[in-house]
């Protein structure tokens, strides 16, 4: 087999593997393990932070944004208003989990899950005070969703309007959305050159979803 044919075969196999992964990752999710109230299946959310943390209102706004989007799409699944707990996660564990989510999973995400095992919530939003790449762990039945947010006293999260959109972006991953390449939308991200600074705005606003995001959510949460 020539070198060119070998390369073409490798690319074909990678494409097939990616298609299988994306197909399985887009399958409808069974939400029966969630709490059911009059409005439908409900994610219990806890914000792990100092109760005086200035980012807590932005986290609640991001939760409200997602409830609006899910209602717009006719989905009955929703987030609760979130409780705040002062329970802290070690910075080194958050940094390790962030690195693994960004560059490849490993034992730190398992240790983080174990650390949160007794937290009475389906999704934990951790407002850290350390340097890391903000990250998320997708929710699945039997596995908590996690959002880890970096410190916000320096750019880019110190820029106006960024924190609420970064939390909303990570919550999008928690419920099954992937990155896209459109810098004018909420879910733009790696490998595209979109970064949190693009969310900066002098007025309060959330960046929109794409039609592909809408379709994915409708398939994932029937």
Torsions phi, psi for 66 (to 5 deg): -70, -35
Question: What architecture (CATH level 2) is domain 32-220?
Answer: 3-Layer(aba) Sandwich (3.40)
pLDDT tens figures, 92-116? 999 999 999 988 868 999 999 999 9
Chain centroid to Cα 142, Å, comes to: 17
pLDDT tens figures, 75-85? 999 999 999 99
Q: pLDDT at position 17, please?
A: 39
Q: Angle at Cα 140 formed by Cα 135 and Cα 146, nearest 5°? A: 25
Q: What is the dihedral of CA 186, 189, 193, 195, to 10 degrees?
A: 60
List the domain boundaries for the chain. Answer: 1-30, 32-220
What letters, b where the CB count within 10 A reaches 16 and e where it falls short, cover 203-214?
eeebbebbeebe
């Amino acid at each position: 087999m020539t070198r060119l044919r070998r390369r073409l075969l490798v690319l074909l196999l990678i494409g097939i593997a990616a298609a299988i992964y994306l197909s399985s990752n887009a399958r409808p999710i069974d939400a029966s393990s969630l709490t059911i109230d009059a409005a439908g299946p409900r994610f219990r959310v806890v914000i792990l932070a100092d109760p005086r943390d200035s980012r807590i209102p932005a986290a609640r706004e991001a939760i409200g944004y997602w409830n609006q989007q899910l209602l717009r799409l006719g989905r009955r699944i929703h987030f609760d208003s979130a409780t705040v707990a002062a329970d802290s996660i070690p910075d080194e564990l958050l940094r390790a989990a962030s690195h693994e989510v960004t560059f490849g999973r490993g034992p730190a995400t398992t240790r983080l899950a174990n650390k949160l095992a007794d937290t009475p919530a389906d999704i934990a939003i951790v407002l850290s005070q350390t340097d890391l790449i903000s990250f998320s762990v997708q929710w699945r039945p039997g596995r908590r969703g996690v959002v880890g947010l970096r410190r916000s006293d320096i750019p880019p999260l110190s820029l106006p309007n960024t924190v609420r959109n970064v939390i909303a972006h990570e919550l999008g991953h928690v419920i099954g959305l992937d990155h896209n390449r459109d810098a004018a939308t909420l879910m733009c991200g790696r490998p595209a050159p979109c970064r949190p600074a693009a969310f900066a705005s002098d007025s309060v606003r959330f960046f929109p979803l794409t039609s592909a995001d809408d379709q994915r959510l409708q398939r994932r949460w029937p």
